[in-house]
Amino acid sequence: MTITEDIRYVGVNDHAVDLFEGQYVVPNGMAYNSYVILDEKTAVMDTVDIHFTQPWLENIRAVLGDRQPDYLVVQHMEPDHSANIANFLRAYPQAVVVASAKAFAMMKNYFGDDYEDRRIVVGEGDTLTLGKHTLTFVTAPMVHWPEVIVTYDSYDKVLFSADGFGKFGALDVEEDWACEARRYYIGIVGKYGAQVQALLKKAAGLDISIICPLHGPVLTENLGYYINLYDIWSSYRPEDKGVVIAYTSVYGNTKAAAELLAQKLTEGGAKVTLTDLARCDMAEAVEDAFRYDKLVLATTTYNADVFPFMKEFIHHLTERNFQNRTVALMESGSWAPMAAKVMTKMLEGSKDLTFAETAVKIQCALNDESRAQIEALARELLA
């Protein structure tokens, strides 16, 4: 793939992976992106997952021919990008590694070598000249690891954005960018909104025409669309108006209550997403909770606590700094409902949550009183 006259794509597609990072379902696979910049000196931008050593090296040879690369720029040390550093340096013994100080410390831990005899340590604002291309390095700590740098090529106005602006999915599959980019961002980077905001402020001072991430497609058009979504996600603002109803149910009574609420809200014109937490893709449920402005948590009391899948869901939310939303609680129990109390406690550290005034309590099964509470909650959420 030719990105510009001097920049080539040499990454790979992975359709064998079932769970990215051991937890995220990736039905359309994953792309591990790497790039070559051709100039008086040549630079390879990052490596790829260890399962693709030979295809990646072959891609580099197809671009370089008999030329020897001068530099390997390592922006991020997560193994899906760094695993082939040692293999690359064995294949190209004259190449010099360019990375942050923290990245070299990680290389020592991963490979037993920090390449002191063939390295350039870079930090904020440092530059590397290849000829007409000058690379400027921008530190991006905790987006989403501490060693991360991103790289700006002022000649072609390209931002090599590390894991920023990445998405799930291989590049040979056509799919909507926002859906899988949102799930990727919230699941993997979502905790670090403040750090992403800091990086966006730095990027605002650069004249960027192309964004080259380490996952997902190269972005060449309408960059404002992608940057705006990242601004929304990293500032924890709702992206859309709608109600997510996330429930767990043992014998179907809580499910019936959640479905009744969904019906009332839909009849009132609301966009509603109904999710059974025991059966859904948890990452999709978390994505929806961050996408929409209202969230209903409906669950059974279980062992004087809440049902395990609800507890896991709330934990996913709070560890990613869930905030700026309206939350409603529905609890169910046969003799001592207390799920609402537990859920409130779990959410007490979350900022700027507005709790619905209407509480729904299902004692064993729906009755006239709990149906009336659901009607009242629907009216409140539709207001």
pLDDT tens for each residue of 205-228: 999 999 999 999 999 999 999 999
7 residue type, one letter: I
Average pLDDT over all residues of the chain: 96
Residue 1 scores a pLDDT above 90: no
Note whether 7-234 and 244-382 share their fold: no
Sign of CA dihedral 245, 248, 251, 253: negative
Helices (H) and strands (E) in the chain, counts: 12, 22
Confidence tier at 54 by pLDDT (50, 70, 90): very high
Superfamily for domain range 244-382 = Flavodoxin domain (3.40.50.360)
- Residue 41 has phi, psi (to 5 degrees) of -120, 155
Confidence tier at 351 by pLDDT (50, 70, 90): very high
Contacts 24+ apart (CB under 8 A), 226-232: 226/165, 226/177, 226/181, 227/200, 227/203, 229/178, 229/181, 229/182, 230/164, 230/165, 230/185, 230/196, 230/200, 231/197, 231/200
Check residue 25 and give its pLDDT.
95
Assess whether the previous peptide bond of 144 is cis (omega < 30° from 0). Answer: yes
Check residue 302 and give its pLDDT.
87
Residue 334 scores a pLDDT above 90: no
Q: What is the share, in percent, of the chain residues with pLDDT greater than 90?
A: 96
Rounded to whole angstroms, how far apart are CA atoms 101 and 124?
A: 11
Rounded to whole angstroms, how far apart are CA atoms 125 and 141?
A: 14
Residue 41: other Cβ atoms inside 10 A: 16
DSSP per position, 311-346: HHHHHHHHHTT--S-EEEEEEEESS---HHHHHHHH
Question: How far from 228 is each of 168, 195, 284, 303, 361, CA to CA, in Å?
Answer: 19, 16, 21, 44, 40
Residue 64 scores a pLDDT above 90: yes
Rounded to whole angstroms, how far apart are CA atoms 161 and 152?
A: 8
Range 81-104 average pLDDT:
97
Range 176-182 average pLDDT:
96
Range 5-28 average pLDDT:
96
pLDDT tens for each residue of 105-152: 999 999 999 999 999 999 999 999 999 999 999 999 999 999 999 999
Range 61-78 average pLDDT:
97
- What is the domain partition of the chain in residue ranges? 7-234, 244-382
Residue 131: other Cβ atoms inside 10 A: 13
Confidence tier at 46 by pLDDT (50, 70, 90): very high
pLDDT tens for each residue of 282-300: 999 999 999 999 999 999 9
| Edge-first strand listing for the sheet containing 43-45 | 7-9, 35-37, 43-45, 71-73, 96-99, 119-121
CATH number for the region 7-234 comes to 3.60.15.10
Two structure tokens written together for 346: 């779990």
Check residue 304 and give its pLDDT.
83
56 residue type, one letter: W
Check residue 103 and give its pLDDT.
98
